[in-house]
């Protein structure tokens, strides 16, 4: 499992930065105005100036700031969910073994009071679900079932909560990139409208085209890994919820109930 996460992280970094690095390697610097070029300043024949990655990103215009914020938020929540969804945080082996031992120690009803005392100091989701049922011991079976069901729903919602941030980033980042595409093309057309000779001079249109393409590329580079990590984490949450449900189903019939 750990190797799979490492492999996914490597793929995402490749997707996120590979396209930008290729663009960096292939994109020459914007040509200066013809009137400003002097023989001394002209580049040597056959030589081309290369843009650094930072220079390329800066050509994306003002929309690079919200896109940069999106990338920071995405990385922060990817790390937070990777740490928060570790198995020993959600389904600790010690809690799991104590619950299983209590259910298997007697053939019918378990000792609710002893298990309650054992679970109360614990703060993991499984312990909270078990505690919700144990606190309704000696009540009717529907009450016990409802308490466990409600606790399970709360824990599932808590586990999924920060995953939704990644889904939001995956939706917002491409839209910001698309907005950059529109503003970049508007900038190019405004240049053409202001200067009739600009239509034949690519260096006057380059700034708007750079803004259009860079923002689109960066928006997709943020959205793709955010969406992939979102689905990976949701799948992990669902596997935890399914395991907690199976334990709760077995537990609910072992808790002493009033008929």
Q: Are residues 103 and 193 in the same domain?
A: no
Say if residue 212's pLDDT is above 70: yes
Residue 137 inside a domain? The answer is yes
Dihedral sign, Cα of residue 81, residue 73, residue 161, residue 163: negative
- Tell whether 201 and 80 lie within a shared domain: yes
How open is the CA angle 251-253-259, to the nearest 5 degrees? 140
Write down the H helix ranges in the chain. 2-26, 53-58, 64-84, 87-90, 93-104, 112-119, 125-134, 141-161, 163-194, 202-252
pLDDT of residue 187: 81
Give pLDDT, residue 40.
38
Residues 110 and 237 in one domain: no
Q: Is residue 138 part of a domain?
A: yes
State the pLDDT confidence band at 109, using cuts at 50, 70 and 90.
Answer: confident
**Are 64 and 153 in a shared domain?**
no
Kindly report the pTM of this predicted structure: 0.73
Q: In terms of domains, do 66 and 114 share one? A: no
CA distance 147 to 6: 38
Q: What is the mean pLDDT of residues 98-125?
A: 87
- Residue 45 maps to a domain: no
> Which residue has better confidence, 104 or 33?
104
In a domain, 134, yes or no: yes
Q: Residue 258 domain-assigned?
A: no
Q: What is the pLDDT of residues 181-193, one digit of tens each?
A: 998 888 877 777 7
Computed over every residue of the chain, the mean pLDDT equals 80
Q: Please indicate, yes or no, whether residues 69 and 176 belong to a single structural domain of this protein.
A: yes
Give the DSSP letter string of 48-81: --B--HHHHHHTT-TTHHHHHHHHHHHHHHHHHH
Burial of 44 (0-12, 13-18, 19+ CB in 10 A): exposed
- pLDDT score for 189: 75
Whether residue 34 is contained in a domain is answered as: no
Total number of domains in the chain: 2
Question: Is residue 75 located within the same domain as residue 108?
Answer: no
Residues 108 and 67 in one domain: no
pLDDT one-digit tens code per residue, 152-203: 999 999 999 889 999 999 999 999 999 999 988 888 777 777 776 656 666 6
Q: Is the pLDDT of residue 229 over 60?
A: yes
Structure-token match 């609910």, residue found = 252
Residues 142 and 238 in one domain: no
Taking residues 7-32, report their average pLDDT. 42
Q: Are residues 218 and 240 in the same domain?
A: yes
- Identify the DSSP state of 44: P
Model confidence at 78: pLDDT above 90: yes
Print the domain residue range for 81.
2-20+52-87+167-244
Residue 146 inside a domain? The answer is yes
Token reading at 143: 């009450």
79 in the same domain as 173: yes
Q: Residues 16, 119: one domain?
A: no
Is 40 contained in some domain? no
Q: Which two tokens stand for residue 146?
A: 């409802």
| Cα–Cα nearest to 74, from 220, 214, 178 | 220
């Amino acid at each position: 499992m750990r190797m799979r996460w490492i492999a996914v992280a490597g793929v995402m970094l490749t997707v996120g930065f590979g396209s930008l690095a290729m663009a960096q390697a292939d994109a020459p610097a914007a040509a200066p105005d013809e009137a400003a070029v002097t023989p001394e300043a002209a580049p040597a024949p056959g030589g081309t100036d290369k843009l650094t990655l930072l220079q390329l990103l800066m050509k994306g215009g003002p929309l690079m700031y919200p896109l940069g914020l999106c990338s920071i938020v995405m990385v922060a929540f990817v790390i937070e969910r990777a740490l928060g969804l570790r198995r020993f945080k959600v389904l600790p082996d010690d809690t799991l073994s104590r619950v299983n031992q209590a259910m298997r120690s007697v053939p019918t009803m378990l000792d609710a009071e002893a298990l309650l005392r054992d679970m109360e100091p614990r703060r993991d989701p499984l312990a909270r679900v078990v505690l919700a049922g144990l606190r309704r011991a000696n009540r009717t079976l529907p009450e016990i079932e409802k308490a466990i069901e409600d606790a399970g729903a709360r824990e599932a919602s808590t586990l999924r909560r920060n995953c939704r941030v990644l889904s939001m980033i995956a939706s917002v980042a491409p839209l910001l990139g698309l907005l950059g595409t529109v503003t970049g093309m508007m900038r190019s057309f405004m240049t053409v409208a202001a200067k009739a000779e600009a239509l034949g001079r690519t260096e006057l249109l380059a700034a708007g085209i750079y803004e259009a393409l860079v923002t689109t590329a960066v928006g997709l580079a943020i959205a793709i890994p955010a969406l992939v990590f979102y689905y990976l984490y949701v799948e992990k949450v669902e596997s935890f919820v399914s395991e907690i449900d199976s334990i709760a189903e077995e537990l609910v019939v072992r808790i002493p109930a009033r008929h």
